Amino acid sequence: MLQVFKRILPKPVKKVLIAVKQKTYDQWQKKRLFKRMQVKHAELLQQLKGKKKIKVVFLAIHKSVWKVDPVFKKMLEDPFFEPTILICPYTNYGDERMWQDMEEAYEYFEEKGYPVLSSYNKEQERWLTLDEIKPDIVFFTNPHGLTRKEYYEDAYLNYLSCYCGYGMPISKYSNYQGQFNQYFHNAVWKIFVQTQEMVVNYEKYSSRNGLNIHLVGDNIVEQLNKKNLVAQSQWKDNSQRKKIIYAPHHTIMDNEQLSLGTFIEHSEHFRILASQNKEQVYWSFKPHPILKSKLYLHPKWGKERTDVYYKFWEDSEFSQLDEGEYLDLFINSDALILDSSSFLGEYLFTQKPMLYLMKNNVENFMSQFGLLCLKACYQANLSSDISEFVNRIIQANDPSVEKRKNVIRIFKENIGREESTSTLIFELIKSEFDN
């Protein structure tokens, strides 16, 4: 009966009722959860006092959004910690995509020589439980329920859990509830954030009122600052052609919550542009990891058209397809063209030019830091603006250098500390066990 009632309600009425529920019942439930988890965390810490080695399980879903590498390395180097990566299934787009992602992620970490486990036991044809692995701490890099309950709710409700933002805080949506006030956000032990604006938002929107929120900066920024330009790196082209990345976001359908993606509007122009400039420009097509799954379901695209488009970038002599790690790709590039959110904040720290593909009211989906970054890059409303930017890169004409440097300066000043992000995270966790 309740489901029938929900279906017949007018959309404006639904929105009002949802907002009321969020501010009353949901908020009360989240406050209860946070208080209960504070007690549980204290009990778990007490149980671990005096332990010689702390086992930390990092929950990983996509290899391309692994952004806590410096923290993991520091724990590997310290005998007090025993870090392990657990590859978890991405369950939102069917079994075929799930198994592919898991296999690719497992191979990625295995090649790095990291201790890694698959959450699926093939011999016994079953999913592992965290109780079998016996972690002392679980480390999340994504706040959303993208995986099985065993590696989401069961993890943050039963263990000391940490969350480190998987992307720079560029966007805003659903009145910040999805970003700062999910049940997840109110249950985890420690949350590490990149900007002072995020600290304020946790204080304002989260039921935890900003407790155990730690301003540490960004792990990807730390890695970009440390990496050096190399001759070839991930780029397969050794010529003197300019190297430009095209990175489309996955939000290709108009959505009240978050609508950034312009792939449907510009995809064909990029294919033509790449062919036209093949003597001067070598391209990397770097799509969001779930764009392909959404295109498979799109009424005007589907699997066949999507696969042909991806194959174009993978096989052309003037381009490559990149779906994994991207730090070297960024460092050794000349420019980035994007409509994604976190890349806007991350690529800025290469100090290289960006072109942001604008969409109607895109500013409405931007945080204060996001708007600051947006003003520091070039913007495209039309396909002709994209062509003009590419010509600008070919001619090495970049008058926005100082704008980007100013944003970097403001970011560093807001952090207010000299230590690296990974050092701050590492020390904050280890200090809990010092006494």
**Three-state DSSP class for 297?**
helix
Q: What is the pLDDT of residues 338-364, one digit of tens each?
A: 998 889 999 999 999 999 999 888 888
Band of residue 104 on the pLDDT scale cut at 50, 70, 90:
very high
Q: What is the pLDDT of residues 276-291, one digit of tens each?
A: 999 999 999 999 988 9
Q: Are 333 and 232 in contact (CB under 8 A)?
A: no
List the chain domain ranges.
8-223+417-431, 226-414
pLDDT at 318 over 60: yes
Determine the Cα–Cα distance for residues 157 and 190; give it in Å rounded to an integer.
13
- pLDDT score at 330: 94
Higher pLDDT, 216 or 23: 216
For the chain, give the mean pLDDT: 91
CATH fold of 226-414: Rossmann fold (3.40.50)
- pLDDT score at 189: 98
- pLDDT score at 141: 87
Determine the Cα–Cα distance for residues 6 and 9; give it in Å rounded to an integer.
5
Q: Are 356 and 344 in contact (CB under 8 A)?
A: yes
State the average pLDDT over residues 256-281. Answer: 90
- pLDDT score at 295: 95
State the average pLDDT over residues 52-64. Answer: 93
Task: Examine domains 8-223+417-431 and 226-414 and report if their fold is the same.
Answer: yes
Long-range contact list for 379-387, CB < 8 A, 24+ apart? Answer: 379/355, 380/337, 380/355, 380/356, 383/266, 383/269, 385/355, 386/266, 386/269, 386/270, 386/273, 386/337, 386/355, 386/357, 387/269, 387/273
Question: What is the 3-class SS of 125-171, one letter each residue?
Answer: CEECCHHHHCCCEEEECCCCCCCCHHHCHHHHCCCEEEEECCCCCCE
Considering the four listed CATH numbers 1.10.287, 3.30.70, 3.40.1620, 3.40.50, the one that applies to the domain covering 8-223+417-431 is 3.40.50
- pLDDT score at 228: 63
* pTM summary value: 0.90
212: tokens are 């155990």
Determine the Cα–Cα distance for residues 68 and 74; give it in Å rounded to an integer.
10
pLDDT at 12 over 80: no
- pLDDT score at 269: 97
Q: What is the pLDDT of residues 390-404, one digit of tens each?
A: 999 999 999 999 999
- pLDDT score at 7: 64
Q: What is the pLDDT of residues 286-312, one digit of tens each?
A: 999 889 999 999 999 999 999 999 999
**Three-state DSSP class for 121?**
strand
pLDDT at 231 over 60: no
Determine the Cα–Cα distance for residues 277 and 272; give it in Å rounded to an integer.
9
Determine the Cα–Cα distance for residues 404 and 385; give it in Å rounded to an integer.
20
pLDDT at 4 over 60: no
- Helix axis angle, 421-431 relative to 219-226, nearest 10°? 130
pLDDT at 378 over 80: yes
- Helix axis angle, 263-276 relative to 383-394, nearest 10°? 40
State the average pLDDT over residues 8-28. Answer: 73
- The most confident of the ranges 200-204, 324-328, 411-415, 418-422 is 200-204
- pLDDT score at 350: 94
